[in-house]
Amino acid sequence: MQTKIKHIMTYIFLVGVIFSCTFIFGCDNGSNDHTHEFIDGKCECGATEGMQSLTYEQAQNIYNSFESTIQSTVYVGNKLNLPKVVNDVSIDYAVDQKKYFNDEFEVIMAESFAHRTVNLDIVIAGHHFTKKITVHQELTSYFKKVADYLNGVMPSGIHNGDISLLTSYPGDKEIQIEYVSSNTAFLTHDGKRIDHEYDESVSMQLKLTKNNQSYTETYEFISMGISYADRYDKWTTYINDFFKNTKLEEGTKLPTELPLYGGRIRWIAEDPTLIYDYTTLHLPKEAKSTHLMAEVRFGSTEYHWELYDVNLDARPSDISDIDYILTFLETVTKTTEDYLVLYDGSLADINSDLLIDHEANPVSYRKFTSTKRPDIPQEKLDQLLYEGYVMPNDDNVLWVVVHETGMSYAGRDALLLANLQYNQAYRDDGRDASWCYTVDEHSIYQSFPDTYILWHATDGSNPGTGNGNGIGIEMCVNSDGNYEVSMKNNARLMAGLLNKYGLGMMNMKQHSDFYEAKSCPEIIIKTYRWYEYLTLVAREYISQTILANHEITYSVNLTEMETKGIYDCTSLDDGQNVQIQVTIDGTTYTLDTVIKK
């Protein structure tokens, strides 16, 4: 019995010794002081045999000595400042989100609009310490992203009213946002507009500050003065005074803007030969009373049109037809963009192969009303144009109406639409529309005689309407066509019709002039190119009436388009000079054009 008791006591003693050894040599992974237990030369805490043995307090002191030198915030491209040895003790490092750092602890990526916190594990003689590191984008890029968000409210061009400045950035309370106005007499630092008379140039500077770094961005714009309605009243007074006090002579420059109030003014004359560059007046060969038309624009969308009666003297006798032609050619070739028009008197090339003749083969009543246009009473003419206007032709053609097909699909060219009209002319079903001419960049097809009352202007067929007394032209906008050249080809056709029927620039209309709900011709209207089109017509009119009386040929190193007289400049550089040789009645002159993209 005693022997058994001795054996039991011995067993308990041995267990106690083993337990005590485990307590002495066990490892708590470095969170407190401990004695390392090495298995295959390595402790669970990361210590290895041969590593300098330090207590936790000793490691803590070493950590405290350099912790503040490690950045708490880093940006893409920054490298952490991590000492490898301190007090002859080796230091090891690791991060818990490795995608943000390379092996050299350089930040290689960050989130687009937010920061991320990464835990940096610092190991000193097997003891672990953690430091939190905030990772941002490279600060300049971050600032730019913040600025992109804030500048969504910043104006450009002309601005009227207060600016609702953004003063905070979502998710970042630390970034400081400031604004500074260049002139607080017109706009305060907090974006409040101060009333002023004239348009004034103003800049607003945005300043962003964070982590002792800053970024600035400046926005330039015009702070609008008085309203467009008020300045239009001033413009009316200014122009009336101009005509009252200015003698209109050969080469008179008409106003192109309202002094002090800006805007843009472009001019066209009832007689197309009098103005062909928006501003310069050329006197007629014989004295006459006529009308000048002004297009007045304020801002990007505010438009007005005004008509002025003028009495013009005859052109000075020392200005010959050749002088006039040279002045015209020098003006219209001075600059050009993608397509250059060299005028030589050419008429539009009209294809009548698909002409529909009601008398030979009666057309469906749904497609047209009559083969003869109605007479217009003088009272109606006075109302539609001006008092005393005389109908200039016996065919009662008063208008030429410009349309665009609205068919942007490839292949919807002039031939296709001419065939469409021809095939549907004798059917009672289908669309009820009809028009005289279809134009694209190289073809013009006539579908009906000019005297037919067709259905294109949405205003019935009474005297004076677009249908009743207007010739309809449809211009193609198919995506595989060339809109710019189509517009020039259209202008050539229009000029020929004006000349044929004794009409002037006041007789040209848009579909929307007769039916406001229809935005047609859509591209011309939306891009505000109506007066540009009118000027193209004026130039073609001069070519077909004045230049046509002379022998004119050109020599130029450019590729001519399918439409005669139009040359391709698309491959030329901005500012490039092109020399043109023009021969007029046997005498050669040199013209220069500068490419302006």
Question: Which tens digit of pLDDT belongs to each residue from 522-570?
Answer: 999 999 999 999 999 999 999 999 999 999 999 999 999 999 999 999 9
**What pLDDT does 14 receive?**
42
Q: Is the pLDDT of residue 42 over 70?
A: no
Mapping DSSP to helix (H, G, I), strand (E, B) and coil, where does residue 203 land? strand
Q: Is residue 366 over pLDDT 90?
A: no
Whether 181 contacts 189, CB under 8 Å: yes
CA 303 to chain centre: 20
Helix (H, G, I), strand (E, B) or coil at 466: helix
pLDDT over 70, % of the chain: 90
Q: pLDDT-based confidence at 111, cuts 50/70/90?
A: confident
pLDDT tens for 224-270 read: 999 998 999 999 999 999 999 999 999 999 999 999 998 899 999 99
Q: Of 29-43, 412-426, 442-456, 505-519, where does mean pLDDT reach its minimum?
A: 29-43
The confidence score (pLDDT) of residue 430 equals: 59
Q: What is the pLDDT of residue 419?
A: 94
Q: What is the pLDDT of residue 40?
A: 56
User: Residues 48, 27: contact at Cβ < 8 Å?
Assistant: no
Between 454-458, 472-476, 537-541, the lowest mean confidence (pLDDT) is in: 454-458
Q: What is the pLDDT of residues 81-99, one digit of tens each?
A: 999 999 999 999 999 999 9
pLDDT score recorded for residue 207: 97
In this prediction, residue 113 has a pLDDT band, given cuts at 50, 70 and 90, of low
Q: Which two tokens stand for residue 299?
A: 């801002």
| Maximum Cα–Cα distance across the chain | 155
Sign of CA dihedral 316, 320, 324, 327: negative
pLDDT at 363 over 90: no
Average pLDDT, stretch 381-399?
Answer: 96
Kindly report which listed range (138-147, 259-268, 317-326, 375-384) carries the lowest average pLDDT score.
138-147
Residue 9 predicted with pLDDT over 90: no
| DSSP 8-state class, residue 369 | E
- Strands (DSSP E) along 19-84, which ranges? 73-75
pLDDT confidence tier of residue 53, bands split at 50, 70 and 90: confident
Banded pLDDT at 479 (limits 50, 70, 90):
very high
Over range 194-218, report the average pLDDT: 92
Residue position matching structure tokens 């009272």: 379
The predicted model gives 504-519 an average pLDDT of: 95
Write out the CATH class of domain 56-137: mainly beta
CATH code assigned to 140-223 = 2.60.40
Going by C-alpha positions, the residue among 162, 228, 240 that lies closest to residue 195 is: 162
pLDDT at 431: 66
Q: Tell me: pLDDT of 478 over 50.
A: yes
**376 and 396 Cβ atoms separated by less than 8 Å:** yes
C-alpha 544/C-alpha 522 separation (Å) is 28
All structural domains of the chain with their residue ranges: 1-51, 56-137, 140-223, 346-540
- What whole-number distance in Å separates Cα of residue 282 and Cα of residue 32? 100
Q: Looking at the predicted structure, is the pLDDT value of residue 21 above 80?
A: no
Paired with 121 in beta bridges are: 94, 130
Q: What is the CATH number of domain 346-540?
A: 3.40.80.10
Q: pLDDT tens across 405-446, in order?
A: 999 999 999 999 999 999 888 776 656 789 999 999 999 999
CB-facing half-sphere around the CA of 575: CA atoms within 13 A? 0
Q: Please provide the average confidence, as pLDDT, over all residues in the chain.
A: 89
Question: pTM higher than 0.75, yes or no?
Answer: no
Judge whether 261 and 239 are in contact, CB under 8 Å.
no
Does 140-223 match 56-137 at the fold level? yes
Q: Is residue 589 over pLDDT 80? A: yes
Residue with tokens 């669309």: 431
> Residue 336 in contact with residue 596, Cβ under 8 Å?
yes
Q: Measured between alpha carbons, how far is 208 from 180 in angstroms, rounded to an integer?
A: 12
Cβ neighbours of 260 (radius 10 Å): 12
CA distance 307 to 300: 22
83: amino acid identity, one letter? P
Strand-pairing partners, residue 337, are none
